[in-house]
Amino acid sequence: MKALITGSNGFIGSHLSTEFEKNGYEVIKSDLTEGGGNIAMDIMNPAVIQSVLEKYKPDVIINMAGQANVGLSWKKPQLTVQLNTVGLINILESVKAVNSEIRVIAIGSSDEYGSLKESGSNVTEDIPVKPVTPYAISKQAQELFAQLYVQSYGMDICMIRLFNLGGAGQSKGYMISDFSSGIAEVELGKKDVMSVGNLESARDYTHVKDACRAVRLIVEKGHVGEVYNICSGTTHTVQEVLDKLIAMAKTEIKVVQDPARMRPSDTPVVCGNHDKLTAHTGWQPKYGIDEILKDALTYWREQN
């Protein structure tokens, strides 16, 4: 089996390449620029996508390229929709033109569920989505296009909604990587204290390696046209994550709460339900929060 991975230089894309290679796939890695085993394939350029499909003839495309940052999506909504929504349409149009039998995996986010208020404790795929950020709207829109191409052209597409991930290689801008990099900096004396915001919210965290195994199983066993949550089905509060990381630190960590970052979340708990994924593929998470945090902290110690 030949798998074309877009965004393979990114956090998830790099782990995904390893997961597929380890499991006997021939992997074509692609990102904006060539190098380190990657080919260059800009998902904004349909002609380039088509020529890659004609040349490499993949059996499956996993689209990990995109604009993954919710904060940036408020500053750059056009770019976010271009990369996350138009990027997938470019891939789908290229697949339709070259070989519509290629399986495509479209990557969405738990952010599509949006403001869940008090009803976030068992988030199944069929609860109504209410996207409330440009990022979430771009992800919901790409999913709707994926569904449209399944219904209108009979294409072989599975859709994924990824919940919070953690592990080695995640950039700053996510809670686990921000805390881990902060602790690594305090350990090295680069700063004295860690500044934190609201510690109450409880979220669902999956190890990036478990998520990548889930993506591979969806490639192999996922049903056409289905949306799959990838989540652990358990939650941890921000306070719990912070306490665990502080317990792993090599030095005393002073924490200050930054009033500017104390916005209360209107969704106290987000806990995903992965029953459909498990029923269709047998997937279960293997790693818990401790491994997620240990791998994130080790990564940030190596970066500093």
Ligand X SMILES: NC(=O)c1ccc[n+]([C@@H]2O[C@H](COP(=O)([O-])OP(=O)(O)OC[C@H]3O[C@@H](n4cnc5c(N)ncnc54)[C@H](O)[C@@H]3O)[C@@H](O)[C@H]2O)c1
> Residue 67: what residue type?
Q
Quote the CA–CA distance of 14 and 130 in Å, as a whole number: 30
Residue 109 or 181: the one with the smaller Cβ distance to ligand X is 109
Cβ atoms of 49 and 32 within 8 Å: the answer is no
**Least distance (Å) between residue 250 CB and ligand X:** 26
Residue 9 or 180: the one with the smaller Cβ distance to ligand X is 9
Residue 10 or 182: the one with the smaller Cβ distance to ligand X is 10
Angle between helices 289-303 and 238-248 (to 10 degrees): 60
Quote the CA–CA distance of 51 and 130 in Å, as a whole number: 37
| Closest to 14 (Cα-Cα) out of 1, 26, 2, 31 | 31
Residue 94 or 109: the one with the smaller Cβ distance to ligand X is 109
**Least distance (Å) between residue 108 CB and ligand X:** 7
Give the CA count within 13 Å in the CB-facing half-sphere of 68: 19
CA angle (168, 67, 64) in 5-degree steps? 60
**Least distance (Å) between residue 115 CB and ligand X:** 17
Please give the residue whose beta carbon sits closest to ligand X in the complex.
10
Neighbouring C-beta atoms of residue 195, cutoff 10 Å: 13
**Least distance (Å) between residue 79 CB and ligand X:** 9
**Least distance (Å) between residue 251 CB and ligand X:** 28
Residue 162 or 253: the one with the smaller Cβ distance to ligand X is 162
**Least distance (Å) between residue 69 CB and ligand X:** 7
Q: Give the tokens for residue 13.
A: 């894309």
Cβ atoms of 230 and 107 within 8 Å: the answer is no
Quote the CA–CA distance of 65 and 138 in Å, as a whole number: 13
The residues binding ligand X (CB under 6 A) are: 6-7, 9-13, 31-32, 42-44, 64-66, 68, 83, 107, 109, 162, 164-165, 171, 174
Residue 249 or 303: the one with the smaller Cβ distance to ligand X is 303
Cβ atoms of 128 and 195 within 8 Å: the answer is no
